[in-house]
Amino acid sequence: MSVTTYPISPETVQHVNRPVFGHVIDNEIVPSADGRTMPVIDPATGEEVAVAAVASAADVDRAVISARRAFDDGRWRFQTPLDRERCLRRMSTLLAERATTFAESDTIDSGLLRWYTDGMVDFALNSIDYFAGWPTKIEGSIPPVPADLVAYQVREPHGVLGLIVPWNGPTAVFAFAAAAIAAGNCVVLKPAEQTPMTAVLMAEVARDAGLPPGVFNIVQGAGEAGAALVEHPGVDMISFTGSRPTGAAIQAAAAKGVKPVQLELGGKSPFIIFPDADLEAASAAAMMGVWMASGQVCTAGTRVLLHDSIHDEVVERIVSGSRDMVIGSGFDPATQLGPLVSAAQLERVMHYVSIGQDEGAELALGGHRHGDVGFFHEPTVFTGVRNDMRIAQEEIFGPVMSVLRFSSEAEAYAIANDSEYGLGAGVWTNDLATAHRASRALRTGQVWVNTYQMGYPTVAYGGVKASGHGRMQGRATIEELTHVKSVWMKVGEPVGHDPRSVTL
């Protein structure tokens, strides 16, 4: 099968030409028990390039039993902390060696541009390297207690983590799986149905690095497989990144089993430009904030809030800077805007564009599908947007920017916070006090000042309000992926101490 007309490495060709992208259970790649498969579509061409297995409840059960066994017999969590660190470091070395295959595979099934998929590999490498240092550093504490007792607190892994993820960062997901494993958990990962390819590569990296069977299992499939994983009694905790409605359904389903849930559910992030900002840099960042990955990024700054005094100038910069973007395959180095991930996502974007027009917003740029091959959409800018419009309130996950106006600082924060979401926020100002006031005023998990979408493995990442709860990255992740166990011991009174002499 011809995968793409662009040159790709022989290793990627071999990887993509697997007969089926299977599940990975006990370090073995296996088909579904009932043989069910789904097509893998290249969004740049709309053509089928591979097939992947679809898990039924029976396959999910097999994967969970394997992970349960691996957790319960302690084959991973009771290895010495240094051995666990060495294993994670080998994972990072192998990922670096196979980086091109990861990045090319992600571009084939997600359509994301090659520089972006390279970036995701770097992100995963950084995170794995960071989390590889944790097994020797997850320390407990010894709180003061009455003299006849000793108590200590240790952090223990939750157990089996069901990890359900979307398509927009297939290799980046490796970072959170590594964090879970570093904390001593066993993982069953369900990749998105649109992007099944790199999960198999991750499992191979984990296996070749010496991770024991069952510690990192993969089940392929769509919502049905995800739901079976959430409901499985052998799963102790759920981590989900994806859309708000699915996240809410998962939290409700997990509640039946009283399971902890970590959720990252996207957003409608405000990107505020004050009049004193560097308008050239701010406009470029505003474009990148929505066009990157064709807007399929949870933190996309899709609500661009402009002060009245600079509104027209910034809109002009954005429109003229975006008008001639090169739209095409993620493999073409000239491409600036790639496809959406699927026909369904393209439909969704076109639907929201027509909603915006019906609501009375003004189309300043774009607004149409691009070409008739693959799932491309023009960069699209709406001006005259009111914050109560659906295009300002609902996450579109496409290259659609909504521009809103404000006339005072207080109004900017009021508009920014008038959203059920609270993931990211961008603030552009050269005034230190404004930057600090904005950072305090905005109800979001991240605030970026004079930059946007920066991240580093040492720094927590996550949302508030309907953007979810719980944190990925940094020390907060290790806390998220462990619980505190308190151990009490009666040791009697200290020798030589007479408790009767104590007066209160």
Q: Which regions of 254-399 does DSSP assign to beta strands (E)? A: 261-264, 270-273, 303-307, 362-365, 369-370, 376-377, 380-383
Question: Minimal distance in Å, beta carbon 294 to ligand ADP?
Answer: 14
Candidate list 161, 230, 315, 481; residue touching ligand ADP; CB under 6 A: 230
- Residue 165 or residue 349: which is nearer to ligand ADP going by CB? 165
Let me know: does 268 contact 419? Beta carbons within 8 Å: yes
- Residue 85 or residue 193: which is nearer to ligand ADP going by CB? 193
Question: Minimal distance in Å, beta carbon 224 to ligand ADP?
Answer: 8
Pairing of strands 400-406, 380-383: parallel
Question: Minimal distance in Å, beta carbon 167 to ligand ADP?
Answer: 7
- Residue 53 or residue 165: which is nearer to ligand ADP going by CB? 165
- Residue 98 or residue 469: which is nearer to ligand ADP going by CB? 469
Let me know: does 273 contact 307? Beta carbons within 8 Å: yes
Report if residue 171 touches ligand ADP, rule: CB under 6 A.
no
Which of these segments, 219-227, 293-301, 332-340, 474-482, binds ligand ADP (CB under 6 A)? 219-227
239 to 268: interface string for ligand ADP, x by CB under 6 A: ---xx--x--xx------------------
Q: What is the amino acid identity at position 241?
A: T
- Residue 190 or residue 370: which is nearer to ligand ADP going by CB? 190
Total number of residues that touch ligand ADP (CB under 6 A): 16
Q: Show the CA angle centred on residue 197, arms to residues 208 and 481, nearest 5°.
A: 65
Question: Minimal distance in Å, beta carbon 241 to ligand ADP?
Answer: 7
Question: Minimal distance in Å, beta carbon 228 to ligand ADP?
Answer: 8
Report if residue 227 touches ligand ADP, rule: CB under 6 A.
yes
Question: Minimal distance in Å, beta carbon 483 to ligand ADP?
Answer: 23
Question: Minimal distance in Å, beta carbon 157 to ligand ADP?
Answer: 22
Report if residue 169 touches ligand ADP, rule: CB under 6 A.
no
Report if residue 226 touches ligand ADP, rule: CB under 6 A.
yes
- Residue 178 or residue 235: which is nearer to ligand ADP going by CB? 235
Q: At what angle do helices 81-97 and 99-110 cross, to 10 degrees?
A: 70
What does the block give as tokens for 286?
A: 């505003």
Report if residue 453 touches ligand ADP, rule: CB under 6 A.
no
Report if residue 222 touches ligand ADP, rule: CB under 6 A.
yes
Nearest residue to the partner ligand ADP, using Cβ: 226
User: What is the spatial distance between Cα 230 and Cα 218, in angstroms, rounded to a whole number?
Assistant: 14
Rg of the chain's alpha carbons, rounded to an integer?
A: 25
Which of these segments, 1-9, 141-149, 223-231, 423-431, binds ligand ADP (CB under 6 A)? 223-231
Active-site residue list = 264, 298
Report if residue 273 touches ligand ADP, rule: CB under 6 A.
no
- Residue 62 or residue 244: which is nearer to ligand ADP going by CB? 244
Which of these segments, 92-100, 190-198, 435-443, 458-466, binds ligand ADP (CB under 6 A)? 190-198
Q: Which regions of 186-268 does DSSP assign to beta strands (E)? A: 186-190, 216-218, 237-241, 261-264
The count of residues in the chain is: 504
Question: Minimal distance in Å, beta carbon 188 to ligand ADP?
Answer: 12
b/e string for 49-67 if b means 16 or more Cβ within 10 A?
A: bbbbbbbbeebbbbbbbbb
Question: Minimal distance in Å, beta carbon 419 to ligand ADP?
Answer: 19
The gap between the terminal CA atoms of the chain, to the nearest Å, is 84
Report if residue 111 touches ligand ADP, rule: CB under 6 A.
no
Report if residue 295 touches ligand ADP, rule: CB under 6 A.
no
Let me know: does 373 contact 45? Beta carbons within 8 Å: yes
What secondary structure letter does DSSP report for 484? Answer: E
Candidate list 104, 129, 193, 480; residue touching ligand ADP; CB under 6 A: 193
Candidate list 192, 215, 272, 385; residue touching ligand ADP; CB under 6 A: 192
User: Residue 439's CB: how many other CB atoms inside 10 A?
Assistant: 14
User: What is the spatial distance between Cα 174 and Cα 424, in angstroms, rounded to a whole number?
Assistant: 22
User: What is the spatial distance between Cα 307 and Cα 217, in angstroms, rounded to a whole number?
Assistant: 50
Nearest Cα to 171, choosing from 234, 101, 252, 238?
101
430 exposure class (CB count in 10 Å sphere: 0-12, 13-18, 19+): exposed
What does the block give as tokens for 24?
A: 């990975």
Report if residue 57 touches ligand ADP, rule: CB under 6 A.
no
Q: Concatenated DSSP letters for 49-84?
A: EEEEE---HHHHHHHHHHHHHHHHTTTTTTS-HHHH
Let me know: does 446 contact 164? Beta carbons within 8 Å: no
Which of these segments, 62-70, 224-232, 367-375, 461-469, binds ligand ADP (CB under 6 A)? 224-232
138 to 167: interface string for ligand ADP, x by CB under 6 A: --------------------------xxx-
Q: Show the CA angle centred on residue 374, arms to residues 369 and 378, nearest 5°.
A: 25
Report if residue 404 touches ligand ADP, rule: CB under 6 A.
no
Q: Which residues bind ligand ADP (CB under 6 A)?
A: 164-166, 190, 192-193, 222-223, 226-227, 230, 242-243, 246, 249-250
